């Protein structure tokens, strides 16, 4: 299989993409039920209703929904769609859809049917999707409900088009069963809180939208080679494989020229993305061989996340046309970089001001500092929940693996803002009057002009006009960390406002009250600020001294979801109920267990049916050779004896370790409590993977190449 796969990969022709006949501006969003389309198709009244729902969160009444449904139906049918689906994000990590035809049989004919009911709410049953105990099987109802803030779109498959309506997914009692529902609540929450604080500065500010730009990293592997690796097929990562002689040490892949086959693939999915209104902007090679990145322009958080999920679906589908498989796993290959999903986040007002962009005068700078410092404080207080929001079995491989931020959450602000914060703070210490304070604040824009320093090792870095959460895993749904970040910042801003108001009430001027409270917040957040190398061992030691958490694995980190801080950040403000948090925790423990369980099974399978047979075949060749040489009185040399001994030892240990892992798995499976089971899977099952792998990878190095069945790293990474 390996040699056939290599041949197939080497002979694969570049799949040429027909250049878009339609100019890009016309193509852009052509499959989206966009604002412009709605303006043209809907009645004035219906358009206004949808618009105020999108902009102000007002609900749409039944009559208006009927109008929208009629317009949407006409548009979709004209575009050639035959089916429609509510498109949602269950807690499986992927998107879900259940297609219904637009046509109903009627007296031997087919008639088109799509009403307000079909648009607004559906009951997809979907009782097999994870719910963490929120749905009893006898009352297993789950409902999808229309999210007007993310426009409907048409998804094109090779032979058919489907109208997709973005929806939330909730239980009969209204509990969230998905990622989108809490995300929407958090967006609303941060909007309200930030707007309330902005009113100190500018009463024209009536809303604040959280914005997000998601950089997506991925690997490409030839389809034939992929299919010859059961671990890639079933786990999305290689469980074994010796490091190639050449990996990423030459740094010759990063930003290098893009191979033709890969370029055609990128161009192809970009064209598809453009039709769906996904504003892709950047493409380049990443650090590891076979690794790439793409990034769109930032959008409202909700839309950016929908677009990211849609993009991943598209990339997967288009890859198959090109004889590729796209790997979104955080660590498909040991020894070289893994993939992340950098989440660039900021807050933008209805007046068009980016609140994380320093302004031009003292007042707007104070507004900037207010949002900036409160964000840092929010991250400080919610560090463990942020860590939990990026936790997964697959991201565990990446965090702290000297290529991605460590599991310690800290904030990088850059040398300029470090100076600014210091000056801002010292003001109080030295007891100087308002004059110097305003000078410090005045200085920000000037100095910022050369604020170019970046810290690629920081999990949460300020990059001039936004914060970048760099620790998010490449497979994950960004709604998780963004729900946490929005809620944490909102919660902090509300607390801040209460304290400022209290000072004002006591007679302090508004500005003085704000400055005073910012200093308190800054002082309380100082130990989370770190400008150095987050990959270094010194930082781990220093962080420990500072009392920062360094939670290295998923089962341990997830507990933060039900911590006292989580109650404060989420439950008090209705983002999650306590029950929802516990249900989520349950689901995440289960997911963790299942992932490691599958990996354990695949690994044992590979050892027994691929690795050991190859090694034993080679071993017997060596042994019979020695025997033949002895028979003709040529004493077999030392080298062959040594080889036989090594191979034989590695075979023994590989088998022994594999059996041990299987035993640990059986023991772990017996645990009744899902958290304990997850912990056991982490400590006893997953930790033993490395012991198995060490032996297997040694065998790969020693066994005759012709006998090795699984495509090797050099082939997976370098054949394009």
The residue ranges that bind Mg ion (CB under 5 A) are: 342
CB of 183 to ligand ADP, least distance (A): 16
Nearer to ligand ADP, 111 or 297 (CB): 297
Q: Which does 346 bind (CB under 5 to 8 A by kind): Mg ion, ligand ADP, none?
A: ligand ADP
Nearer to ligand ADP, 59 or 415 (CB): 415
**8 A C-beta contact, residue 344 and residue 468:** yes
Interacting residue with ligand ADP among 147, 175, 191, 215 (CB under 6 A): 215
Q: Which does 295 bind (CB under 5 to 8 A by kind): Mg ion, ligand ADP, none?
A: ligand ADP
Residues 653-672 binding ligand ADP (CB under 6 A) are none
DSSP 314-351: HHHHHHHHTTEEEE--S-SSTTS---BEEEEEEEEETT
Dihedral angle over CA of 594, 597, 602, 606, nearest 10: 160
Nearer to Mg ion, 217 or 231 (CB): 217
Q: Which does 573 bind (CB under 5 to 8 A by kind): Mg ion, ligand ADP, none?
A: none
Nearer to ligand ADP, 118 or 458 (CB): 458
Kindly determine how many residues on this chain lie close enough to bind ligand ADP according to the rule CB under 6 A.
16
The set of residues, in sequence order, having a beta carbon less than 8 Å from that of 244 and lying 6+ positions away, is: 712, 713, 714, 717, 718
**Measured between alpha carbons, how far is 40 from 37 in angstroms, rounded to an integer?**
5
Q: Which does 491 bind (CB under 5 to 8 A by kind): ligand ADP, Mg ion, none?
A: none
Angle subtended at Cα 701 by Cα 700 and Cα 703, rounded to the nearest 5 degrees: 65
**Measured between alpha carbons, how far is 343 from 207 in angstroms, rounded to an integer?**
22
CB of 165 to ligand ADP, least distance (A): 26
Interacting residue with ligand ADP among 88, 298, 576, 689 (CB under 6 A): 298
H or E, element range at 536: none
Rg (CA), the chain: 28
Q: Which does 132 bind (CB under 5 to 8 A by kind): ligand ADP, Mg ion, none?
A: none
Take residue 560 and report the two structure tokens written for it.
């933060």
Nearer to ligand ADP, 220 or 485 (CB): 485
H or E, element range at 171: strand 160-171
Nearer to ligand ADP, 269 or 298 (CB): 298
Residues pairing with 461 in the sheet: 412, 468
Interacting residue with ligand ADP among 344, 394, 534, 569 (CB under 6 A): 344
**8 A C-beta contact, residue 130 and residue 591:** yes
State how far Cα 29 lies from the chain centre.
24
Q: Which stretch binds ligand ADP (CB under 6 A): 291-299, 552-560, 634-642, 673-681?
A: 291-299
Interacting residue with ligand ADP among 66, 149, 465, 597 (CB under 6 A): 465
Nearer to Mg ion, 57 or 464 (CB): 464
Binding mask 348-387 for ligand ADP (x = CB under 6 A): ------x---------------------------------
Q: If binding is defined by CB under 6 A, does position 218 make contact with ligand ADP?
A: no
Residues pairing with 629 in the sheet: none
Per-residue CA distances from 525 to 102, 180, 380, 522, 528 (Å)? 55, 30, 6, 5, 6
Nearer to ligand ADP, 54 or 371 (CB): 371
Where do the DSSP E strands lie in 47-134? 83-88, 96-101, 103-106, 109-112, 121-122
Nearer to Mg ion, 471 or 607 (CB): 471
H or E, element range at 363: helix 362-381
**Measured between alpha carbons, how far is 114 from 108 in angstroms, rounded to an integer?**
19
Nearer to ligand ADP, 469 or 696 (CB): 469
CB of 312 to ligand ADP, least distance (A): 15
**8 A C-beta contact, residue 382 and residue 570:** no
Interacting residue with ligand ADP among 235, 271, 288, 295 (CB under 6 A): 295
**8 A C-beta contact, residue 339 and residue 474:** yes
Interacting residue with ligand ADP among 29, 90, 124, 213 (CB under 6 A): 213
Q: Which stretch binds ligand ADP (CB under 6 A): 313-321, 339-347, 381-389, 619-627?
A: 339-347
Interacting residue with ligand ADP among 89, 211, 458, 525 (CB under 6 A): 211
Residues lying near ligand ADP in the complex (CB under 6 A) are found at 211-213, 215, 295-298, 344-346, 354, 463, 465-466, 468
């Amino acid at each position: 299989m390996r040699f056939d796969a290599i041949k197939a990969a080497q002979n694969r022709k570049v799949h040429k993409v027909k250049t878009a006949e339609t100019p890009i501006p016309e193509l852009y969003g052509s499959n989206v039920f966009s604002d412009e389309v709605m303006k043209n198709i809907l009645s004035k009244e219906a358009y206004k209703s949808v618009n105020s729902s999108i902009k102000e969160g007002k609900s749409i009444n039944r009559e208006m929904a009927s109008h929208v449904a009629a317009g949407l139906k006409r548009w979709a049918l004209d575009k050639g769609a035959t089916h429609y689906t509510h498109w949602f994000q269950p807690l499986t990590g992927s998107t879900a859809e259940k297609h219904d035809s637009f046509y109903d049989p009627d007296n031997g004919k087919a008639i088109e049917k799509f009403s307000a009911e079909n648009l607004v709410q559906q009951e997809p049953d979907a009782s097999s999707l994870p719910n963490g105990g929120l749905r009893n099987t006898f009352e297993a109802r789950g409902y999808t409900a229309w999210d007007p803030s993310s426009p409907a779109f048409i998804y094109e498959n090779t032979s058919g088009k489907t109208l997709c309506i973005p929806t939330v997914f909730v239980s009969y009692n209204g509990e969230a069963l998905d990622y989108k529902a809490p995300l929407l609540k958090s967006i609303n929450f941060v909007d309200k809180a930030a707007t309330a604080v902005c009113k100190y500065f500018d009463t024209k500010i009536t809303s604040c939208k959280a914005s997000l730009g998601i950089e997506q990293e991925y690997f490409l592997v030839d389809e034939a080679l992929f299919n010859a690796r059961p671990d890639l097929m079933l786990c999305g990562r290689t469980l074994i494989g010796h490091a190639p002689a050449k990996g990423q040490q030459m740094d010759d892949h990063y930003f290098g020229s893009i191979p033709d086959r890969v370029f055609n693939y990128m161009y192809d999915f970009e064209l598809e993305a453009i039709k769906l209104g996904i504003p892709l902007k950047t493409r380049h090679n990443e650090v590891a061989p076979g690794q790439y990145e793409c990034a769109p322009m930032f959008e409202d958080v909700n839309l950016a996340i929908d677009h990211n999920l849609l993009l991943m679906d598209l990339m997967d589908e288009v890859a198959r046309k090109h004889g590729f498989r796209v790997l979104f796993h955080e660590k498909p290959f040991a020894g070289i970089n893994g993939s992340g999903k950098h989440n660039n986040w900021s807050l933008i007002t209805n007046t068009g001001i980016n609140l994380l962009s320093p302004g031009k005068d003292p007042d707007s700078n104070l507004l900037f500092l207010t949002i900036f410092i409160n964000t840092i404080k929010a991250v400080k207080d919610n560090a463990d929940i942020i860590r939990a929001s990026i936790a997964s079995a697959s991201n565990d491989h990446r965090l702290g693996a000297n290529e991605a931020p460590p599991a310690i959450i800290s904030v990088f602000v850059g040398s300029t803002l470090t100076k600014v914060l210091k000056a801002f703070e010292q003001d109080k210490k030295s007891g100087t009057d308002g004059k110097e304070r305003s000078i410090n604040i005045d200085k920000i824009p000037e100095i910022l002009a050369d604020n170019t320093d970046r810290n690629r090792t920081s999990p949460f870095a300020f990059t001039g006009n936004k914060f970048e959460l760099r620790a998010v895993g490449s497979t994950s749904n960004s709604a998780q960390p963004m729900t946490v970040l929005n809620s944490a910042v909102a919660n902090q801003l509300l607390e801040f406002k209460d304290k400022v108001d209290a000072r004002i009430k006591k007679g302090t001027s508004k500005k003085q009250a704000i400055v005073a409270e910012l200093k308190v917040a800054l002082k309380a957040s100082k130990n989370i600020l770190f400008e150095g190398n987050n990959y270094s061992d010194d930082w781990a030691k220093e962080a420990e001294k500072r009392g920062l958490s360094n939670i290295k694995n998923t089962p341990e980190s997830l507990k933060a979801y039900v911590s006292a801080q989580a109650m404060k950040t989420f439950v008090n403000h209705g983002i999650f109920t306590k029950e929802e948090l516990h249900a989520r925790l349950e689901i995440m423990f289960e997911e963790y267990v299942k992932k490691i369980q599958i990996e354990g099974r695949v690994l044992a399978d590979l050892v027994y049916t691929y690795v050991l047979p190859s090694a034993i075949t080679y071993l017997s060749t060596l042994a019979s050779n020695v025997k033949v040489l002895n028979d003709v009185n040529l004493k077999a040399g030392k080298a062959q004896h040594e080889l036989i001994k090594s191979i034989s030892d590695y075979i023994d240990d590989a088998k022994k370790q594999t059996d041990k892992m299987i035993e640990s798995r059986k023991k772990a499976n017996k645990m009744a409590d899902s958290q304990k089971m997850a912990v056991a899977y982490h400590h006893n099952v997953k930790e033993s993977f490395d012991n198995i792998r060490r032996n297997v990878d040694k065998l790969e190095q020693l066994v005759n190449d012709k006998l090795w069945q699984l495509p090797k790293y050099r082939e997976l990474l370098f054949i394009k």
